[in-house]
Chains A and B, each alone.
Chain A
Amino acid sequence: MDKDFKDRIEQIVGPENFSDSLIDLIAYAKDASEYRHRPDAAVWPVTREQVSALLKLANQEKSPIVPRGAGTSLAGLAVPQRGGLVMDMGRMDKILEINIEDRLVVVQPGVVYADLDRKLSPEGFFFPPDPASGSVCTLGGNVATNAGGIKGAKYGTTKDYVLALEVVLADGTVMRTGSRCMKTSSGYDMTKLFVGSEGTLGIITEITLKINPKPPLLSTAMAMFDDLEDAGRAVSQIMHSGILPCALEIVDQQTLKAINQNTTLNLPEVEAILVAETDGYTREETEYQINKVVEIFQRNRASMVRRADDRQEAEALWTARKTAYGVMARINNNLFVEDLAVPMSKVPEMLRAISDLAKKYDLVIPTVGHAGDGNLHPVVSFDGTQPDQVHRVEEASAELFEKVIELGGTLTGEHGIGMAKARFMGMEHDLKSMEYMRGIKRLFDPNNILNPGKMDLEAA
């Protein structure tokens, strides 16, 4: 990137919102994945007009431009693989409107998920996806990734809440999609096209989200299963029983072993633990639901079932699930938090396959997941300084996704494709589908400046 180009960028946003300092280039070279590539410069736009002017300029110069939220992507979505300009949306962080009457909010992309939640909570409302990185991730990033979380089975993911967007296109034009209505069948769904587009089609500058009333009460139960198949059957039965738990999480035996080896928690090393939570407006309502769940746990030979009488006890039941990430993050230098989803009935088979892969490649792969929607997170912990280990991780990963597709699953439930899974896209999507995806990319971004190198959108 030449000096003149940098000067023009700086003129658009002002010196306080531009940097090509070494420390910024290093910080923007990486997200929460293992990929690393430095950009040439970084900007923090504060208005839609600046975003537009920057895109117009980058398009003229045919220079890559990579929008970025909190950089919590686990799949390399925010890594500027081809250099260019990183556009950090973090300073466009205003909540523009909270409209309870119309059940919606209008926000800028840099608003942090938890900040919106803090504003909505007193109103008795929430934006449900609840990603694990909610304390830091931004809503723009949520939309661009189609982020999910533990409430997916009952409340869906980000795409179920995006009503309208303001997007700046590659040539700098501003486009508005969608409407403020709860329903619309007006034309192609341009809004959803941008949800999960990973910054490859345009840059989101304003988001209109549907919000939900938040049931204030929760009931929690936990069950241990000596046999994984019993746990799997219990999940299926719960999900077609008519009860929709707001969380139904699974923790596998490998995770329990890892936790025990690294903490003093001394958890029973059963084949699976399930934790379920039900929500509602009266205690009777949440208890009725959790009773049904507990019945199903028992009917499926749970070796132990526990109920929480208060929040403190509930926290105790969540211990295994909530300790898992911290333990895994501490036991080795590198961490792949994988993400896949399979039809719910295939969860036990998928877990068995992961366990077999771990043995085959001599790796430790504990798995936790959102059992209620078939979304699993095998967590591969390894030492990135050992080339042999890295190689085994890559091999195992390829075989893992072959199995996922064989079971009718999908490459990603909620983390996106980015760099990590670009090479697997052809396994899930047929030739025609890939051709149309690439066609859409060319239509919106003929010069391929927007987050290039992601989602396998370039191959012939």
Chain B
Amino acid sequence: METNYGFAEKFRDQVLRCSSCGFCRAVCPVFGITKRPALNARGKMLVLKEIMDGNIPLSDDLIDTLFQCTTCASCAKNCPSGVNVPEIIKSVRKDMVQAGTCHPAFVGMNQVLQASPNIYGEEGPPDFGRERNRKAENVFFVGCVGSYREEEATEETLTLLDRLQVDYTLIDEACCSGVLEDLGYAIPENHVQTNVDRILATGCKTVITGCPYCFRTFNERPQYQSLKDQGVEVVHISQFLSGFDFGVKTDQKVTYHDPCDLGRHAGIYEEPRKTIQQITPNFVELPNNRVNALCCGAGGGVRGAYPAHSIAMARRRLEEVEAVGADVLLTECNSCVHNLSNAKLRAQKFKIYTTTQFINRLLEEA
């Protein structure tokens, strides 16, 4: 039986190093809502050991565990053996796709991105009534969720940038496509080329992303290396705005949800808090925050492939918001806003915004 898979070649030692202690049970969001050990990191590593030992082949039987991971990295951050589970999962998904087995939702997502520049396969990007592709100091890169699902949040973020007189332009974006690599597929070269060409054509010094995931893709994937080579810095909007004096305050009780891609993956915990604390004296942390933040359940393709579980994960996070009695939940990721808003119960009276959207509202009311 085939045992010589790419994941094994790259991560064999790490998979073996998982000592099956089970400590990932405490933090895995998928396990948290299913109580099914096959779905947490230990369960996944046991499956991979069986594959490496030649006991089982890569097959559809494994989809429910290998494709059901939000790649939130909670397990990796808490693993006594230092096993980098999200990277291993991404790697084995490549082998799965190559072996012709993948979750149908992701097969579909790949097909959509081959044909369309955005993950929803929707017609042309909204222009938010703003000029695009012009020369500017900064490019504001919206991302798919901000363009097609959380347009209101994006509109208000752009209004805030206008108020602050930031010199920025939008571009005709293609999906950064990082997610495809996470699901076992390749990033389409044409999308990379579109983004790189259009960003460089503006002559910008900085790309400001509204989405933590686009931020990571541009900074971490070698496909986008040419941005760095051309001296373009990519920052997330929370970094860009940290330290701005917005001249507005609220006494509402505000709490903050760390997006996995911004927090655990990129280590950006303090910038958003600095901004929030500047606008409210009434900031309260969620019980699980920073490196221990609970995942909203949207990542790693789980929202598309396992919607009921995705919503259940979001509900767990919202229970924490209720427990601290916050009026407003802020976060820095449109995808988190989208999933958390979808999961919010009518009885839960708090509001959910991106930080920039909230600040813009305060300025409007002022």
Contacts and interface: CB of A to CB of B under 8 A. Distances in A.
Interface of A: 19, 21-24, 26-33, 44, 70-72, 88, 90-91, 93, 110, 112, 114, 133, 135-136, 325-326, 329-330, 332-335, 384-385
Contact of B23 (A21, A133, A330, A335): A133
Nearest to A134: B26
Given A26-B43, A136-B26, A333-B13, A32 B20 contact: yes
12 contacts: A19-B36, A21-B61, A23-B38, A23-B47, A26-B43, A27-B46, A33-B20, A44-B36, A114-B26, A133-B23, A136-B22, A329-B17
A30 B46 contact: yes
Given A44-B36, A329-B17, 12 more contacts: A23-B39, A23-B43, A24-B36, A27-B38, A29-B46, A32-B22, A70-B22, A112-B26, A133-B21, A136-B22, A136-B26, A329-B19
Contact of B38 (A24, A114, A135): A24
Nearest to B26: A135
- Between A24, A26, A325, A329, the greatest number of chain B beta carbons within 10 A of the residue's beta carbon is seen for A26
B16 A385 contact: yes
Nearest to B60: A22
Contacts of B16: 333-334, 384-385
A30 B26 contact: no
Contact of A32 (B19, B35, B56, B65): B19
A330 B38 CA distance: 23
A330 B82 contact: yes
Contacts of B47: 23, 26-27
Contacts of A335: 19
B81 interface: yes
Contacts of B21: 32, 72, 133, 329
A135 B23 contact: yes
Contacts of A91: 35
Nearest to A92: B35
Contacts of A32: 19-22
Given A21-B61, A30-B20, A326 B46 contact: no
A135 B43 CA distance: 18
A29 B42 CA distance: 12
Contact of A22 (B13, B42, B61, B80): B61
The 8 A-B pairs of least Cβ separation, nearest first, read A27-B38, A27-B43, A23-B38, A329-B81, A135-B26, A333-B16, A136-B25, A22-B61
Nearest to A73: B22
A33 B23 CA distance: 14
Interface of B: 13, 16-17, 19-23, 25-26, 35-39, 42-43, 46-47, 50, 56, 61-62, 64-65, 80-82
B96 to A, nearest CB: 13
Nearest to B22: A72
Contacts of A33: 20
Nearest to A384: B16
Contacts of B39: 23
A133 B19 CA distance: 13
Given A330-B17, A333-B13, A23 B82 contact: no
Contacts, number: 93
A88 B37 contact: yes
A326 B83 CA distance: 11
Contacts of A133: 21-23
A307 to B, nearest CB: 28
A26 B26 contact: no
Contacts of A30: 20, 46
Contacts of B38: 21, 23-24, 26-28
B64 A23 contact: yes
A26 B25 CA distance: 16
A326 B17 CA distance: 11
B57 to A, nearest CB: 11
Given A32-B19, A135-B23, A329 B80 contact: yes
B203 to A, nearest CB: 44
Nearest to A29: B46
Contact of A27 (B17, B23, B26, B37): B37
Contacts of A70: 22, 25
B42 A27 contact: yes
A447 to B, nearest CB: 27
Contacts of B19: 32, 329, 334-335
B24 to A, nearest CB: 8
A329 B19 CA distance: 7
A21 B26 contact: no
B62 A22 contact: yes
B65 A90 contact: no
A385 B26 CA distance: 29
Contacts of A26: 38, 43, 46-47, 50, 56
A326 B80 CA distance: 5
Contacts of A71: 20, 22, 37
Contacts of A31: 20, 22
A124 to B, nearest CB: 19
A26 B35 CA distance: 15
Nearest to B37: A27
A114 B21 CA distance: 16
Nearest to B59: A22
B64 A21 contact: yes
A382 B82 CA distance: 17
Nearest to A381: B19
B307 to A, nearest CB: 17
Nearest to B36: A24
Contacts of B65: 23
Contacts of A136: 22-23, 25-26
A137 to B, nearest CB: 8
A24 B39 CA distance: 9
B74 to A, nearest CB: 12
Given A27-B38, A32-B20, A91-B35, A330 B81 contact: yes
A63 B134 CA distance: 73
Contacts of A112: 26
Contacts of B35: 44, 88, 90-91, 93, 110
B75 to A, nearest CB: 12
Contacts of A326: 80-82
Nearest to B20: A32
Contacts of B25: 70, 136
Nearest to B68: A23
A44 B23 CA distance: 20
A91 B19 CA distance: 24
A23 B22 contact: no
A19 B19 CA distance: 25
- Between B16, B19, B26, B50, the greatest number of chain A beta carbons within 10 A of the residue's beta carbon is seen for B19
B81 A23 contact: no
Nearest to B27: A135
A363 B16 CA distance: 19
A335 B80 CA distance: 12
A135 B292 CA distance: 13
B80 A325 contact: yes
